[in-house]
Chains A and B, each alone.
Chain A
Amino acid sequence: MILEKIKEKFGEAVLETHSFRGDDTAIIVKEKIVEAAKFLKEDPELDFNVLIDLTAVDCLKLDKPHRFEVVYHFFSVAKKHRVRLKVPLTEEDPVVDTLTGLWPIANWFEREAWDMFGVKFQGHPNLQRILMYDEFQGHPLRKDYPVSKRQPLVGPQN
C-alpha cells in the first residue's frame, strides 16, 4: 500500500521499488526527496512521523551507475509501518536537499553522512563534521579512503 501510494503520487520520479521480506523500499530521484518526505509525513494514511535513520552508502565497488546512495528510514508510530527511501547520487555532484526542515533529527544524521561520506546536504543550517575532528582531511567511510591512512593530531604521523 505504501509503495503504491508513493508510485501513484510521484510517478516517473520513482526509479524502482522493491519489497524484500516485507521491507518496502523506493528509489527516488534526488530532486523529489523533500517533497516525498513531506508527503510521507503529512499524508494521514501514511503518517510517517519518525525519521529513524539517515545514512549513505558508497557504491564504488558495487556494479551501479551512481557512486552514492543516501538511505532514509521512516517509521509511523501510530500505524506501525516502515518504509525506506533511497536517493542515488553521482560522484561529481553528491548533493541532496536537507530534511532538517521536516525532522530536526536530520540535522545530526546529515552531519554524520557528510563527515563519513562527503555527501552534501543543501540548505543544512550547520553542515560540519560531527564525529571526526576538524583537522581531518577527507571522508573515512568512502571506499577509496586508504584503510591504513591515519591522521593523528599528536604523536607520529602514519
Chain B
Amino acid sequence: MIEKNTDTLSMGFFTTKVNDIVGWARKYSIFQYPFITACCGMEYMSVACSHYDIDRFGAGFPRFSPRQSDVLFVVGTISHKIAPVLKRIYEQMTEPKWVVAFGVCTCTGGFYDNYATVQGIDTIIPVDIYIPGCPPRPENVLDGLMKLQEKIQHSKQAI
C-alpha cells in the first residue's frame, strides 16, 4: 500500500523558465497550413495519414485558414504566377509563425530551371526548415519536423 505523502518536495515538481515552457507548448501544438501545389502533396498525405502519423508530434491538425495556423508547409513547385498568393498567405498568418520548404522545388526550384518556376521560395518568404528530396521520404519529413520543433523550443518566445 502506498502511503499518502503530503510533503510537497517528495511529491515531485520541476522548475523551468517561462521561455522554455512556452517553447515546449508551442512545439507540440503545431497547426499547419499545407500549401500544396504539386506531386510532393502525395508524400505530404502519407506523412499526415496513419502510416507515418504526424499527430505523434503534435502536428496532426491541418488548418485551411492561414489565420488559424502557425506553420506554413509549402509543398510542391511554386510558379511565378502563384508566388504572390503564397506571399499573401504568409503575410496573413499571425505571429509566431514558421515556414517549412517541403521538397527540392520549394528549396531551390529543383530541376525546373526555367521561365515559370520560382528558384527557391526563400526568394519570397523566410524559410525555417528545408526538407530536400524529390519528393522527400516521409521519414525525412518527420526528421525535418523534429528539427523545426527543436528550433521552436530553442528560440526566444514572443509572448
Contact = CB atoms under 8 A, between A and B. Distances in A.
Interface string A116-158: 0000000000000000110000001000010111111111100
B94 interface: no
B126 to A, nearest CB: 12
Given A133-B81, A153-B83, A153-B84, A140 B115 contact: yes
A134 to B, nearest CB: 10
Interface residues of B, number: 13
A147 B116 CA distance: 11
A20 B76 CA distance: 39
A155 B115 contact: no
Nearest to A152: B80
A150 B81 contact: no
Contacts of B119: 150
A72 to B, nearest CB: 25
B14 to A, nearest CB: 46
Contacts, number: 34
Nearest to A156: B123
Identify the interface centre among A132, A140, A153: most chain B CB within 10 Å of its CB.
A153
Interface string B97-139: 0000000000000000111101100011000000000000000
B123 A151 contact: no
Interface residues of A, number: 14
Interface in A71-105: none
B77 to A, nearest CB: 14
A155 B123 contact: yes
A152 B114 contact: no
Contacts of A140: 114-116
Given A152-B83, A153-B84, A154-B87, A147 B124 contact: no
Interface of B: 80-81, 83-84, 87, 113-116, 118-119, 123-124
Interface of A: 132-133, 140, 145, 147-156
Given A132-B116, A147-B114, 10 more contacts: A133-B80, A133-B81, A140-B114, A140-B115, A148-B113, A150-B119, A151-B80, A153-B83, A154-B84, A154-B87
24 contacts: A132-B81, A133-B81, A140-B114, A140-B115, A140-B116, A145-B115, A147-B113, A147-B114, A148-B113, A149-B115, A150-B80, A150-B119, A151-B80, A151-B115, A152-B80, A152-B83, A153-B80, A153-B81, A153-B83, A153-B84, A154-B84, A155-B118, A155-B123, A155-B124
